Structures are given as structure tokens and as C-alpha cells.
């Protein structure tokens, strides 16, 4: 299962530009990233195992408590993957900052099916989505960000119900699919809360999907998870945002009028949200590489953009270890559709 030492042409270009000093990774065995010490029983949660034979040259383990048997990679990004030896190669391609690769391009480079590259991409994005929390030092900018509601790609079977009558049956659109069509035809917007710490780091939290208008104070209170006490918070003068900030104590709230910013008027030099505006401008340019992103996966792509913005070479090996050892990746990946369904009806 070792990764080939001899590099392919596309690997040489990526490694020369980004990862030259870590080419040793191509000699690393996947097994070293999934040690037995990190295993958790999928049935009872026990962490004590003994070896229990092999299956197709892979070591199996037995739980000492409930006698359940499993592999060391259960519920990780590698779970149920048949081409595990190509995962590190895949991560190298995903870390190419110069231009994000489409699923079709990745499938051509790794010689895998385009559906496989689609699944791998979203498993990888699920694994890195919570790698690092936003660190707020003293100041933070808050603002709502709007993206058009989008249903891109093949309409999956989960969006249809089976209708039976005597010996006849057919697929009919589910309530979710009908709701998608309504939101698409009425040009609804996906609204997110953007937080920027003015130290080149930011994060996004999905709020809701609606046709027009501003979000409520309750919506902001529901999604904002960052600690604002004893911080300086910079926002616009939107009423619901002001009401939300007032619920915190010991907060230095600085606000401005968006119309003043557009005219170049600044009452105080640091009272603006130009960092968020610059981030959104770069984000929309970056998203053009994908010819649109489905709202279903939008939050994962925003996490990917944030990671690329703060990515450093020294984090490569720990990152690969994280994607392979995170025991919630597979479960979170399987929950993408259910989370999207809940978000549709917020």
C-alpha cells in the first residue's frame, strides 16, 4: 500500500511549486496515519482492541467489550474506499493553490471515475471543514453575505419518491425537489454570516435561504458561535445586527453606514468592513473555477477557500493525518443531504 516513489508528471509540477520539501510523503504508507490507538468501536464506543486476523491483506481488529470486528479506518475518509493508495496523490492535487481542479480533471489525473472524484472531494472537504476555529484577538468584522440559490448537477434519487398503484409504480418529485424549484424560480438567496478577525482569517456560518429582505436578530443569535465579550465588533447599521450585538455585555460596538463607505466617507479610520468585502471579492473570483456551486455543498467550498487562504507548507503532513484519522468524516459526509434538507426549511 506504499505510495510510489517515482513521481508522475503532474505530481512533479505540484510538488515543485508547493510541496517540494515534503516529497517524502510519497514514500509514506497510509497505515501509519491510522494507528490502532485512535480506533473507536463503531457499536459500543470502546477503545480497547485485539488483532483478529486479516481480510484481503488488511488487518482486522476485535473490540474487547462487544466483540465487534472492524478495520482501523472505520468512519474515516478512507472507509469503504477501494483505491486507498491514491488518497495521498488526491490530497496533493486538492492542495494545488494555483487553480482548483474540477472533478473531471482530477478523475483524468488519477485515472478514476468522475463519480469517485466527486465523492472523494466532498469527503476531503468534510474532513478539513472543522480543522481550525477562527481565532479572534481583539477586533472582528461581522456582515451578512448573499449567494444565489443554486441546484447544480444531477438530480439524485433521494429527491424523488416512489408512487405505487396496483402493479404500477413511478418516481414522483419529493417535497424537497418541489421546494427547490420554487426557490430557484423566485431567485432566492443563500445568506451566510461572515466573520473576519482582521488578521487574514475568516469564517462563514450558513443562516437561511430566503427571497429578499434582511435576517432577523433570532437568526443571527442562532448561528453566531464566536465569543464576542470584551471584543471590538465592527458592523453596519442594520437594525437586526445592532439588536443582536446589544445582547452581549462588555462589547465595543462600532457601526457605520454602508452608504457612507460607498461614498468614501469614514467617520473613524478603522470603522469599516473592507476586509470582508475584499474576501468576498476574492471568493467570487475563486468560485468561477467551478462554474457555480450547489447550495448543498456551498458551505464545504467556503471552508475550502478559507483553508487555502491560511494554508502553509508545514501543515501538509498533519493535514493528511487529520483527513485519515478523523473518526467523524464518514458520518458527516453521509449527513450532508440531511443537513441540506434541514437548511432548506429553516
Q: Name the pairing type of β-strands 58-63 and 69-70.
A: antiparallel
Sort strands 252-256 and 232-236 into parallel, antiparallel or unpaired: parallel
The answer to whether residue 3 is domain-embedded is: no
Measured in residues, the chain has a length of 346
In the beta sheet, which residues pair with residue 42? none
Is residue 143 located within the same domain as residue 201?
A: yes
The mean of the pLDDT values for the chain is 80
In this prediction, the residues of the chain whose per-residue pLDDT falls under 50 are 1-5, 18-30, 32-33
* Same domain as 308, residue 269: no
Q: What is the dihedral of CA 98, 103, 109, 113, to 10 degrees?
A: 170
Tell me the three cell numbers of residue 81. 474506499
Q: Are residues 281 and 317 located together in one domain of the fold?
A: no
Residues 153 and 119 in one domain: no
Closest CA to 276 of 191, 190, 204: 204
Looking at the fold, whether 248 and 226 belong to one and the same domain comes out as yes
Is 166 in the same domain as 227? yes
Structurally, the chain folds into a number of domains equal to 2
In a domain, 2, yes or no: no
- Domain extent, residue 316, equals 9-132+301-344
| Same domain as 144, residue 123 | no
Asked if residue 15 is part of any domain, the answer here is: yes
Whether residue 170 lies inside any domain: the answer is yes
Amino acid at each position: 500500500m506504499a505510495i510510489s516513489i517515482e513521481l508522475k508528471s503532474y505530481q512533479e509540477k505540484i510538488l515543485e511549486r508547493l510541496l517540494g520539501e515534503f516529497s517524502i510523503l510519497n514514500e509514506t504508507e497510509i497505515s501509519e496515519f491510522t494507528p490502532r490507538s485512535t480506533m473507536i468501536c463503531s457499536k459500543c464506543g470502546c477503545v480497547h482492541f485485539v488483532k483478529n486476523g486479516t481480510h484481503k491483506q488488511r488487518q482486522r481488529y476485535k473490540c474487547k467489550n462487544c466483540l465487534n470486528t472492524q478495520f482501523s479506518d472505520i468512519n474515516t475518509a478512507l472507509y469503504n474506499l477501494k483505491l486507498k493508495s491514491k488518497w495521498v496523490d488526491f490530497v496533493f492535487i486538492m492542495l494545488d493553490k494555483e487553480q482548483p481542479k474540477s472533478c473531471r480533471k482530477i478523475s483524468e489525473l488519477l485515472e478514476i471515475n468522475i463519480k469517485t472524484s466527486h465523492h472523494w472531494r466532498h469527503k476531503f472537504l468534510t474532513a478539513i471543514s472543522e480543522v481550525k476555529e477562527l481565532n479572534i484577538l481583539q477586533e472582528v468584522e461581522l456582515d451578512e453575505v448573499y449567494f444565489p440559490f443554486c441546484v447544480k448537477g444531477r438530480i439524485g434519487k433521494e429527491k424523488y419518491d416512489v408512487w405505487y398503484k396496483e402493479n404500477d409504480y413511478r418516481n414522483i418529485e419529493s417535497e424537497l425537489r418541489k421546494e427547490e424549484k420554487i426557490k430557484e424560480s423566485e431567485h432566492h438567496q443563500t445568506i451566510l454570516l461572515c466573520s473576519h478577525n482582521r488578521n487574514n482569517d475568516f469564517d462563514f456560518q450558513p443562516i437561511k435561504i430566503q427571497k429578499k429582505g434582511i435576517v432577523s436578530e433570532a437568526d443571527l443569535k442562532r448561528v453566531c458561535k464566536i465569543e464576542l465579550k470584551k471584543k471590538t465588533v465592527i458592523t453596519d447599521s442594520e437594525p437586526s445586527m445592532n439588536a443582536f450585538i446589544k445582547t452581549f455585555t462588555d462589547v465595543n460596538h462600532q457601526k457605520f453606514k454602508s452608504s457612507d463607505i460607498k461614498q468614501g466617507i469614514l467617520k473613524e479610520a478603522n470603522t469599516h468592513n473592507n476586509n470582508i468585502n475584499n474576501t468576498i471579492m476574492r471568493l467570487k473570483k475563486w468560485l468561477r473555477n467551478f462554474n457555480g456551486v450547489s447550495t448543498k455543498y456551498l458551505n464545504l467550498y467556503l471552508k475550502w477557500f478559507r483553508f487555502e487562504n491560511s494554508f502553509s507548507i508545514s501543515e501538509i503532513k498533519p493535514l493528511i493525518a487529520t483527513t485519515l484519522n478523523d473518526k467523524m468524516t464518514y458520518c458527516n459526509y453521509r449527513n450532508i443531504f440531511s443537513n441540506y434538507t434541514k437548511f432548506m426549511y429553516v
